[in-house]
Amino acid sequence: MFTSEKGVVEEWLSEFKTLTETSLPNYATNLKDKSSLVSSLYKVIQEPQSELLEPVCHQLFEFYRSGEEQLLRFTLQFLPELIWCYLAVSASRNVHSSGCIEALLLGVYNLEIVDKHGHSKVLSFTIPSLSKPSVYHEPSSIGSMALTESALSQHGLSKVVYSGPHPQREMLTAQNRFEVLTFLLLCYNAALTYMPSVSLQSLCQICSRICVCGYPRQHVRKYKGISSRIPVSSGFMVQMLTGIYFAFYNGEWDLAQKALDDITYRAQLELYPEPLLVANAIKASLPHGTMKSSKEGTRCIQVEITPTSSRISRNAVTSMSIRGHRWKRHEQPDNNNDTTELGILVIPEISVTNVAGERTGNGEKGRTLGEIDAQHIQGVQETATDPRTESKGLPEIRRQKSVRKMMEDGINSPGRVQF
């Protein structure tokens, strides 16, 4: 640690002691912009033998219990690094050098499990019902399952998960260690949106180190330091994955991808089903293409939302489309001198089925083209099926084709036209 960095930390320690309660909000607002102070504090925490470690931990705890929200978040950003240092020292059996870090972690834990009045907190979480739509699903796309969930929701049978009350802890042991650390990571994940990028980087790095230390992958990652294995619990790994998933879309794609692979690697070795389930779900939800840069800031999670209104294909055959279907009517070309209307055009007297066609009398309205076409189709069918027309079938079919051609060309037939 350089002398300049040591001087920044010492100035920070002395400055807070001279503050009054009225000036505390302004001090907390300006504290997050001091990047040099944050980097110096990280170096102090990473050196367990540093003489500044104990006063730094004490002041971070004072920040946390001050009641100022921004000072509380300032302490939370160092939580992943503090957890790593504690686990690394515990794995090396050098417990005495981690006393101040253990006291800070226990202090934060004991403050979080009680409310402002000193009563134990009970955290609750309502599991979302599949019968109600969200940005992730539509009930209509689930099928019969949505009906069952809907019936349950009408009776108010919603499942609520409770966490707590948590007991007070005076010291960390092998039995309660990961119970406390898992709860601390839960508090850290609750404030992820306020964490700076340096804190997210620290989270990804310590997750990788915790999962691969003492295993063959440590040589692949080229991690130096301790070589003994660090025990982890299933719940602790799930909380790590929660933070990693947030880091993916907030500027730390590369580090988060590496941490996800290492957590999956460790979960497979430990045969933990919960971390494996969450890790595989995260991998399935990630975009196929890798982000171009890990420093492009916050990214959005793209979710395909099913529209609420049901979509019907325009090409679908419905009763309306069948009723709306009509034979195409051919209009005659406009002619000012021609007063013949299309509706009074009649078919000439041609025998198709050896039966004379009906004639229209004077003053009687002519048949429409739709009736003509229907009789034409019926005549062709009768021509093919009536044995009496076998000898005259050829000339009659030719005559019929000529009439049909005149009708399609829109030319007045040479037959009789009623005026």
Give residue-wise pLDDT tens across range 254-265: 999 999 999 999
Write down the pLDDT at residue 165. 86
The whole-number average pLDDT for the span 136-165 is 64
Contact 89, 97 (CB under 8 A): yes
Contact 122, 164 (CB under 8 A): yes
Write down the pLDDT at residue 385. 47
Q: What are phi and psi of 250, to 5 degrees?
A: -130, 45
Residue with tokens 């966490």: 163
Q: What are phi and psi of 146, to 5 degrees?
A: -65, -30
Write down the pLDDT at residue 121. 85
Q: Quick check: helix, strand or coil at residue 408?
A: helix
181-225 confidence digits (pLDDT tens): 999 999 999 999 999 999 999 999 999 999 998 888 888 887 877
Cα–Cα distances (Å) from 103 to 74, 75, 182, in that order, read: 18, 14, 16
The whole-number average pLDDT for the span 335-342 is 46
pLDDT class of 148 with cuts at 50, 70, 90: low
**Helix orientation angle between 177-190 and 79-91, rounded to the nearest 10 degrees:** 160
Q: Quick check: helix, strand or coil at residue 123?
A: strand
* Residue 262 CA from chain centroid, whole number: 23
Q: Cis omega (within 30 of 0) on the bond before 165?
A: yes
Residue with more model confidence, 377 or 5: 5
Buried-exposed string 10-49: b where 16+ CB fall within 10 A, e elsewhere:
eebeeebeeeeeeebeeebeebbeeeebbebbbebbeebe
The model carries a pTM of 0.65
Task: Indicate whether 410 pLDDT > 90.
Answer: no
355-373 confidence digits (pLDDT tens): 444 444 444 444 444 455 5
pLDDT class of 417 with cuts at 50, 70, 90: very low
Write down the pLDDT at residue 21. 80
Query: Among 210, 232, 221, 299, which residue's Cα sits nearest to residue 258?
Result: 221
369: left (phi over 0), alpha (psi -120 to 50) or beta: alpha
End-to-end CA distance of the chain: 113
Contact 327, 370 (CB under 8 A): yes
Residue with tokens 């990788």: 208
